[in-house]
């Protein structure tokens, strides 16, 4: 894989771009972004025989390794990986087989006096929760039943590609037809949620699942799209051998095998009218301009908001974009430990939470741990652990001293769960962890509050007022979490290929 390091300028221009065939490189579609949605969009395009360029931000990696340990930059679980689910189906279509297996338990939620192991089997999980909360059986059964019905309904809306911000007459007709059903389903789901909220521990249990599996602020769990994400987690979560970055590498390899090109850049000058033009420079020397018939831009691109401001035709999208506000920001520290401090029945995905504290600044802690014997992630007899808490402000807004104090507090809280942590600690680089959280705060999903969410699926769509400019990214479908990344990327690719998505 070859990358070209470039120094580029960025601006939007609306005048016509002169295009002379043969003078430069012409792509069917240029994809701009570092997130899974961008990669999926590029891979889908190339798999359909389209000439595609993936422009990624400079120095962005999927993982980092040190002292024999390897950590995924994004520590959160991936949904949609089970048989018959969206991501697995796409991988199968691309001829990619992940090296993974379903976890049991899929997720552990640990309170001060309770531990809940969610296995991925609805019947067993109901019994597990009822064992911890003996008087809540009927309430839980009602909630699970409601979630299953609404999950099916939400899946139908996804299949129809329904947008809450319609752009075409067909969009308006589809939305109008579905509003009564959406309203009734949301009312029923809220009724079952109200019963759950009566028990503080059950409420906290759902909040942490929202926190990990969607891109929504967990203090508002009403959008019905979360019912689908919730049911996906109940179907089980998987463990990728060696880390998820190995699967990302397979996708990039598939993209290049199909003729795709990957370039790295920092900023750029972008002209768009009938064709997309990107002017590039490298080390002060001029390079041929790059042209594309279309461009797909990730909403996670760090200058996405300024791109919207810089083009009058896209200003309407800025208003929609502003309706989705980030409210919680992940901060992760990376440690390596000897097996001796890990409880025998501890899972790969663990949430340690204090039910009396709010969700921010150190509560809860989410642990993503390598499995025993996975020597691709940790030396034999040792484990790699990513420990994540959520902050009220972006890590980029804190100074080193403040983040070091937060990290110390996280380790102190973790020590109450793993009492032998200190004597078994083998690796820790707080400075590196701080640098990663700062550098990747635009890549790893924040948690968003949406104004008046109806289904939590889409305030933005993949279309824009410019016929050759499309959008991708999890923020388009925040209620669907990682699966929303995959769906938005694939949808943007199909739009760029001219397929009807209404």
54 occurs within a structural domain: yes
The encoded tokens of residue 145 equal: 């039943």
Give the pLDDT confidence score for residue 57 in this predicted structure. Answer: 72
Pick 258 or 14 by higher pLDDT. Answer: 258
Q: What is the pLDDT of residue 492?
A: 93
Together in a domain, 387 and 303: no
Assess whether pLDDT exceeds 80 at residue 283: no
Model confidence band, residue 221 (pLDDT cutoffs 50, 70, 90) = low
Can you read off the two tokens belonging to residue 295?
């461009």
Nearest to 294 by CA among 463, 487, 165, 459: 463
| 350 shares a domain with 231 | yes
357 located within any domain = yes
- Beta-strand (E) ranges in 404-496? 425-428, 447-450, 469-472
Least confident range of 25-39, 41-55, 218-232? 218-232
Label residues 291-303 b or e (16+ Cβ within 10 Å = b): bbbbbbbbbbbeb
| Percent of the residues in the chain that have a pLDDT greater than 70, as a whole number | 82
- Is 28 or 233 the better-scoring residue by pLDDT? 28
Are 466 and 349 part of one and the same domain? Answer: no
pLDDT at 376 over 60: yes
Range(s) of the domain holding residue 431 = 65-138+204-241+325-439
Domain limit, last residue, from 393, 410, 439: 439
Q: Tell me if 173 is assigned to some domain.
A: no
Claim to verify: residue 93 and residue 212 sit in the same structural domain: yes
Q: Are residues 262 and 396 in the same domain?
A: no
pTM of the model: 0.87
Q: Is residue 152 part of a domain?
A: no
Report pLDDT for 184.
81
The yes-or-no verdict on residue 46 having pLDDT over 90 is: yes
**Same domain for 226 and 89:** yes
Average pLDDT, integer, range 110-138? 85
Task: Give the pair of three-digit tokens for residue 346.
Answer: 């501890």
User: Are 225 and 345 members of one domain?
Assistant: yes
HSE-up (13 A, CA, CB side) for residue 346 = 20
- Quick one: 348 and 317 in the same domain? no
Give 279's strand partners: 269
Confidence of residue 404 (pLDDT cuts 50, 70, 90): very high
Asked if 337 and 312 sit in the same domain, the reply is no
Q: For position 331, which CATH number holds? A: 3.90.660.20
Give yes or no for residue 403 having a pLDDT over 90.
yes
Residue 7: its pLDDT value, please?
A: 33
Q: Report CA 150 to chain centroid distance, whole Å.
A: 22
Residue located via tokens 């005048």: 15
Residues 482 and 378 reside in one and the same domain: no
Domain assignment of residue 446, yes or no: no
Tell me the C-alpha distance between 321 and 71, whole Å: 32
Give residue-wise pLDDT tens across range 475-488.
888 878 888 899 89
CB 20 within 8 A of CB 274: no
Close Cβ partners of 350 (under 8 Å, ≥ 6 residues apart): 107, 108, 110, 366, 367, 369
Has residue 4 been placed in a domain? no
- DSSP code for 396: G
Distance CA 268, CA 256 (A): 23
Is there a contact between 313 and 358 (Cβ–Cβ < 8 Å)? no
My answer on whether 429 and 489 are in the same domain is: no
Lowest-confidence region among 124-133, 148-157, 431-440: 148-157
Using only the alpha carbons of the chain, give its radius of gyration.
23
Same domain, 255 and 300: yes
Q: Which residues contact 373 (CB under 8 A, 6 or more apart)?
A: 380
Average pLDDT estimate for 425-435: 96
Q: What total number of domains does the chain contain?
A: 2
pLDDT band for 147, please (50, 70, 90 cuts).
Answer: confident
Residue 105 within a domain:
yes
Cα 268–6–32 angle (5° rounding)? 50
- Phi and psi angles of residue 400, each rounded to the nearest 5 degrees, phi first: -60, -40
Mean pLDDT across the chain = 81
Residue 2 in any domain: the answer is no
The string over 180-201, giving b where at least 16 C-beta atoms fall within 10 Å of a residue's C-beta and e elsewhere, is: eebeebbeebeebbebbeeeeb
What does the pLDDT look like over 195-210, one tens digit per residue? 888 888 888 888 888 8
Residue 231: pLDDT over 90: no
Between CA 259 and CA 493, with CA 440 as vertex, the angle to 5 degrees is: 35
Asked if the model's pLDDT at residue 215 lies above 60, the reply is yes
Determine contact, residues 75/368, Cβ cutoff 8 Å.
Answer: yes
Residue 501 confidence (pLDDT): 44
pLDDT of residue 24: 53
Q: How much is the average pLDDT of 396-421?
A: 92
* Residue 464: CATH number of its domain: 3.50.50.60
pLDDT bin (cut points 50, 70, 90) of residue 284 is low
Q: How long, in residues, is the chain? A: 502
Under the banding of pLDDT at 50, 70 and 90, the label for residue 183 is confident
């Amino acid at each position: 894989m070859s990358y070209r390091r470039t120094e580029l300028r960025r601006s939007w221009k609306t005048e016509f771009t002169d295009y002379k065939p043969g003078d430069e490189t012409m792509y069917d579609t240029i994809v701009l972004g570092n997130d899974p949605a961008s990669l999926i969009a590029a891979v889908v395009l190339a798999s359909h025989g389209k000439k595609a360029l993936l422009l990624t931000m400079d120095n962005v990696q999927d993982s980092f390794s040190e002292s024999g340990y390897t950590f995924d930059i994004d520590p959160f679980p991936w949904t949609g990986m089970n048989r018959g689910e969206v991501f697995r189906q796409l991988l199968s279509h691309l001829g990619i087989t992940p090296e993974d297996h379903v976890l049991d338990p899929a997720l552990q939620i640990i309170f001060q006096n309770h531990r809940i192991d969610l296995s991925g089997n609805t019947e067993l999980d109901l019994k597990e929760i009822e064992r911890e909360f003996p008087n809540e059986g009927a309430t839980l059964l009602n909630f699970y039943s409601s979630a299953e019905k609404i999950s099916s309904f939400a899946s139908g809306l996804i299949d129809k590609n329904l947008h809450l911000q319609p752009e075409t007459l067909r969009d308006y007709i589809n939305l109008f037809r579905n509003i009564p059903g959406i309203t009734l389903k949301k009312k029923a789901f809220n009724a079952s949620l109200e019963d759950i909220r009566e028990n503080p521990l059950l409420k906290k249990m759902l909040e942490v699942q929202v926190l990990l599996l969607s891109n929504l602020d967990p203090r508002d769990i009403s959008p019905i799209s979360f019912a689908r994400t919730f049911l996906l987690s109940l179907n089980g979560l998987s463990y990728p051998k060696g880390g998820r970055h190995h699967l990302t590498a397979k996708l990039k390899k598939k993209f290049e095998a199909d003729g795709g090109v990957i370039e790295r850049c920092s900023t750029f000058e972008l002209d768009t009218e009938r064709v997309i033009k990107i002017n590039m420079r490298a080390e002060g020397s001029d390079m041929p301009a790059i042209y594309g018939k279309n461009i797909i831009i990730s909403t996670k691109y760090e200058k996405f908001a300024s791109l919207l401001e810089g083009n009058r035709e896209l200003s309407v999208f800025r208003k929609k974009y502003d309706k989705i506000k980030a409210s919680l920001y992940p901060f992760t520290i990376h440690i390596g430990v000897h097996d001796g401090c890990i409880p025998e029945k501890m899972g790969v995905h663990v949430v340690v939470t204090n039910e009396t504290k709010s969700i921010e600044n150190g509560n809860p802690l989410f642990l993503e741990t390598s499995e025993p014997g996975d020597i691709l992630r940790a030396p034999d007899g040792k484990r790699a652990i990513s420990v994540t808490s959520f902050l009220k402000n972006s890590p980029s807004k804190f100074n080193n001293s403040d983040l070091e104090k937060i990290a110390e507090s996280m380790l102190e809280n973790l020590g109450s769960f793993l009492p032998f942590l200190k004597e078994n600690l083998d690796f820790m680089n707080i400075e590196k962890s701080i640098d990663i959280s700062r550098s990747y705060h635009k890549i790893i999903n924040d948690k968003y509050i949406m104004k008046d969410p109806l289904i939590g699926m889409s305030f933005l769509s993949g279309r824009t007022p410019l016929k050759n400019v499309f959008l991708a990214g999890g923020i388009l479908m925040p209620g669907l979490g990682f699966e929303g990344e995959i769906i938005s990327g694939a949808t943007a690719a199909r739009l760029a290929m001219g397929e009807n998505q209404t």
